[in-house]
Structure formats: structure tokens, C-alpha cells
Chains A and B, each alone.
Chain A
Amino acid sequence: MAEPAAPDFDRVDLLNVTRRYGRRRALSRATLTCHAGDIVGLFGPNGAGKSTLLSILSTLVAPSEGEVRFGGQLAPGLGDALRGRIGVLGHDLFLYSDLTARENLEFFGRLHGVRDLAARVAAGLAEARLTERAGDRVGAFSRGLRQRLGLARALLHGPRLVLLDEPFTGLDDESVHLLAGRLRALQAAGAIVVMATHDFETADGLVDRPVCLREGRMRALAPGPERIRERYRQALAEAWT
């Protein structure tokens, strides 16, 4: 699916990762292991460090302490090609407002060296239900449509690690359903999905590894019969060491 030259991996490890900004600890000794087929949910209050964690996983931000390993290897050792295996949908969606939907996908596709570009772009547009709007300027799209296109852009090169920062924000019911379906398909295809979200309802049926973050500290939510929202509230109520 993805380009053969890029190094592949089936697990991602965060080992005691800390990220400091001056006096502030955005992330504190975070440890997490994700395997192919996992959908990891990051839950936590605003400012807890979810976006920082995703940035570190995307290799854009280096940890102040600790290690990030992709298939057992450190990021610098894997070079620029590693980024070809990572797909990111940020909070700001990473789309050019002045280009059309198709042009956005074509641009990023070419940049990532995607083969059969025309076919993949068409497929991406179809999956995002945006084929009729392919020739429209993205600046004119609603948030929901841009989100769908942003996701198509993030997945165009068939990444192994998919990082999503609050992907369900502003989506209507149909789009939420679509997105959940796509994430399940990714899971079945062996991708590693790490998703920060506040949408507990949707996360319930989707996330199999819920993790809670508070003030930079991380804690896996204990498995149990309750819904994620309950377990999350419980975890926040406790004192964390």
C-alpha cells in the first residue's frame, strides 16, 4: 500500500518521554506502547499534553528526555523516509485554502511520492464523499468538509501510524459515522491509530486502548465494564502520583 522504500514498523514505543518548555512540563515521563491494529484514545482536559504527545509521535517535536522508538529504532536513525509512514491530521487541518480539494490532495500526494496518484486521489475523494466538490476552493468549505478532506490528505500515502488531533470536532452525525468506519478499516489493515478526542460516545465503540492525560502525566484507563467516560471521570477524581 505505502511506498516500499520507506522503513516499516509494527509497533511504536514511548519510553519515559518528557517535554519541557522553560518552566512548564508539557509532558512528564509518558510511557506507551502501541501495536499494529491498535486504536489508542488520548483523553484529558485542555492543556493536558495530548497535542504535545501527538507532535512528539509525529517526530516534529523532539522529547526533552526519554525515547521514541518506531519498530525498536530511534527516529533520527530512520531518516526522512520515516515521515512517509506517518499520517497526521492536526487541529488546523493542514489544507491550502486557495487550492481546490483535488489540488490539495495532488500536491501532498506528489510531495509524499504516492504512486498512481490520480487513482489514489480519486479514491480518497470518494471515501471522503467529496467527489462532487473536488474542483471547489477549500476556503469555501465548511469545517466538516475540510475535516473530511484533511483526513483524506493524511491517509493518502497509506501511513502505518495515523495521528489525529480531535478529529470528531465539528462533524455532523453522518461524518462521524464515516470517520469511525474509516478508522475501523485502518485498524483492520494493521495501522496504528492514536487519537486525541473529547467525543466519549464515539470513542466507546472505537477505542480499544484508552489513555488519560492530566497536566502532562499519563495513565492508562483501567479496563472495566463501564463506559469510557465513567472510567475517565473516575481516573481524574483520583490523586495521581
Chain B
Amino acid sequence: MQRVIVPGLLAVAALMFARAPYLIDAAPYESTMGLVQKIFYFHVPAAMTSMLSAFVCGIASVLYLWRRRPAADHTALAGAELVVVFGVIALVTGPLWARKAWGVWWQWGDARLTITFVMWMIFVAYLLLRRFGGPGSEVMSAAVGLFGMALVPFVYLSVNFWRTIHPTTDVVRSLPPEMAWPFRWSIVAFVLFYAALVLVRVRLERQRLALDEAYAALEE
């Protein structure tokens, strides 16, 4: 079944990404920012996918902590890596947009940007712990994954409250309907691509584990 799902997802995502530039081009220009604003069609879905992955990792981590099923661990690892990957996309496109739109590279008041950054750091820490934590690092990084996921609402709360005290130039919040269609198209494309990547990575991890076990069994 895997042999059909992954290529299927990739194919659909590829087609959607191929079509996307046309849709984005057809979308209206935003009043103040002009062409630059269009990076938002990639920036926001990337950030949202990164956040989605954080939850995937968090839930898989919980499952692993209490049930110790290898599949949960594989998923958590895949999720963590993809938080970092999609996070990088969001964190690079974000400042590029912000610089042109508002003249500053970074906006601490933008909850989305800040939380993407904090999550990115947490899941980089997950990966560092995995790599340098020695034996048993799967369990330890699962704790990081869990706490990372639990942290999301708190970072949102604190950054949003911070913004009410330190008002800054506002980010475009409401979305006119002509922009909604290419935006949703972009989100779907990203999520499909993400799903394909997770499945591939989990399979890779499962094979690595099988290899380790075969290696160990060889000594029997």
C-alpha cells in the first residue's frame, strides 16, 4: 500500500505546486505591499505545516513515552525533522517579506513568526538530544517533543498579550476572498507534500531499526 500512497501524494503535491504560481499570479495584489506580499502564499503554509508537525511529533512522543512502540518513535523523529525543515522555510521567507513590507527583518510582536522560531529551536534541541544523548535518547527526546507541543498555547498567549502592551504595525489579518482560494490551494499542497515526507522518513527509520536488529541477531 505504501508503494501507492507515497508516490500518489508526491504526484498530487507536485501538480499542485506546478499550478500554484499561476493561481498566485492571478490573485489580486494586496493594497499596501504589492508583489512582495505574494511570498505569504508560501510563508504561511510553511509555518502552519511546521506547527502541524510539532503536534505530530508531540502526540507520537506521548505514545512512545507510555507505550514504547517503535512506530511512535519513528513518527516522532520524522515529525521533529520536518518541524525544522519547514520551519527554516518559514523563517527565511518571513524576514524576506517583513523587510520589504515593513522595513524590519524581524517582528517580535508577530505571534506566528515568534512561535515558529521558538518551536524551531525546541525541535532542533530534540534532534541534538537525539544525536548526542547516547543510549536511551529516544525516550529523552520524546519528553522534549511532549513539552514542546504543550508549550504552543503558552507562547501564543504571551506573545499576543505582549503585543497589546507594545503595539506594532499590524500584520495583514483578514483575507479577502480572492486571496483565500490560492492560499488554501497552497496549504493543501504543503500538507500533502508533508504527509509524503513523513511516510518516507518513517519507513526509512523502520528499515534502519530492522537493520540494527538483523545486525544484533547476527551475533547470536
Binding site for B on A (CB under 8 A): 20-25, 28, 215
Q: Told that A22-B212, A23-B216, A25-B216 touch, could you supply 8 new A-B pairs with CB distance under 8 A?
A: A20-B216, A21-B135, A21-B136, A22-B135, A23-B215, A24-B216, A25-B219, A25-B220
Cβ distance B208 to chain A, nearest Cβ, rounded Å: 10
Question: Is the contact region of chain A dominated by helix, strand, or loop, or is it mixed?
Answer: strand
User: How many Å lie between the Cα of A99 and that of B32 in the bound state?
Assistant: 70
Within 8 A of A (CB), among B195-220: 212-213, 215-216, 219-220
Cβ distance A86 to chain B, nearest Cβ, rounded Å: 22
Cβ distance B174 to chain A, nearest Cβ, rounded Å: 52
Candidates B136, B212, B213, B220; contact of A28 at CB < 8 Å? B220
User: How many Å lie between the Cα of A23 and that of B219 in the bound state?
Assistant: 10
The listed residue with most A CB atoms (<10 A of its CB), out of B215, B216, B219, is B216
In the bound complex, residues from chain A placing their C-beta under 8 Å from that of B215 are: 23
User: How many Å lie between the Cα of A23 and that of B213 in the bound state?
Assistant: 6
User: How many Å lie between the Cα of A179 and that of B172 in the bound state?
Assistant: 77
Binding site for A on B (CB under 8 A): 135-136, 212-213, 215-216, 219-220
Residue of A nearest to B137 (CB): A22
Candidates B136, B212, B213, B219; contact of A215 at CB < 8 Å? B219
In the bound complex, residues from chain B placing their C-beta under 8 Å from that of A22 are: 135, 212
The listed residue with most B CB atoms (<10 A of its CB), out of A21, A23, A24, is A23
- CB <8 Å contact, B212 and A23: yes
In the bound complex, residues from chain A placing their C-beta under 8 Å from that of B212 are: 22-23
Can you show 15 pairs from A to B with CB atoms below 8 A apart?
A20-B213, A20-B216, A21-B135, A21-B136, A22-B135, A22-B212, A23-B212, A23-B215, A23-B216, A24-B216, A25-B216, A25-B219, A25-B220, A28-B220, A215-B219
User: How many Å lie between the Cα of A40 and that of B136 in the bound state?
Assistant: 29
In the bound complex, residues from chain A placing their C-beta under 8 Å from that of B213 are: 20
Residue of B nearest to A217 (CB): B220
User: How many Å lie between the Cα of A25 and that of B217 in the bound state?
Assistant: 9
In the bound complex, residues from chain A placing their C-beta under 8 Å from that of B135 are: 21-22
User: How many Å lie between the Cα of A20 and that of B212 in the bound state?
Assistant: 10
User: How many Å lie between the Cα of A21 and that of B213 in the bound state?
Assistant: 10
User: How many Å lie between the Cα of A28 and that of B217 in the bound state?
Assistant: 10
In the bound complex, residues from chain A placing their C-beta under 8 Å from that of B216 are: 20, 23-25
Residue of A nearest to B209 (CB): A22
User: How many Å lie between the Cα of A25 and that of B212 in the bound state?
Assistant: 10
The listed residue with most B CB atoms (<10 A of its CB), out of A20, A22, A24, is A22
User: How many Å lie between the Cα of A25 and that of B219 in the bound state?
Assistant: 9
10 A-B pairs with least C-beta separation: A21-B135, A23-B212, A25-B216, A23-B215, A23-B216, A22-B212, A20-B216, A22-B135, A25-B219, A28-B220
In the bound complex, residues from chain A placing their C-beta under 8 Å from that of B220 are: 25, 28
Residue of A nearest to B68 (CB): A62
In the bound complex, residues from chain B placing their C-beta under 8 Å from that of A23 are: 212, 215-216
User: How many Å lie between the Cα of A23 and that of B210 in the bound state?
Assistant: 10
Cβ distance A65 to chain B, nearest Cβ, rounded Å: 11
Cβ distance A59 to chain B, nearest Cβ, rounded Å: 15
Cβ distance A222 to chain B, nearest Cβ, rounded Å: 22
